[in-house]
């Protein structure tokens, strides 16, 4: 037996909305969610770039310091060493 009631989902905020209206609302909500995701992606990109630059500059500084120590300080300290003969 059929009743005269129409079947609807239990949660239907717009029972009279057409498919085009529902699609438009869904697209707007999707695009509103894209804004924070794009901002988070841009922030992660900037953080990653800064971290890579800091690591690169630290490696450059460490290698430059090692080069200076080898070229300048090593010959000076070599002449001042005491040689012990056993």
Chain segment 8-31, per-residue pLDDT in tens:
666 767 678 888 988 999 999 999
46 within a domain of the structure (yes/no): yes
The full DSSP string for 9-74 is -S--S-TT--HHHHHHHHHHHHHHHHHHHHHHHHHHHHHHHHHHHHHHHHHHHHHHHHHHIIIIIH
Averaged pLDDT, 50-67: 90
With a cut of 80, say whether residue 49 has pLDDT above it: yes
53 within a domain of the structure (yes/no): yes
pLDDT confidence of residue 6? 72
Domain boundaries, position 71: 40-79
Number of structural domains found in the chain: 1
- Quick one: pLDDT band at residue 72, thresholds 50, 70, 90? confident
Averaged pLDDT, 45-57: 94
The answer to pTM > 0.75 is no
């Amino acid at each position: 037996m059929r009743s005269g009631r129409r079947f609807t989902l239990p949660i239907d905020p717009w029972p009279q909305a057409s498919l085009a209206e529902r699609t438009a609302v869904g697209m707007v909500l999707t695009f509103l969610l894209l804004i924070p995701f794009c901002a988070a992606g841009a922030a992660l990109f900037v953080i990653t770039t800064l971290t890579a630059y800091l690591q690169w500059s630290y490696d450059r500084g460490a290698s430059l310091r090692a080069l200076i120590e080898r070229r300048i300080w090593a010959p000076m300290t070599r002449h001042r060493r005491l040689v012990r003969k056993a």
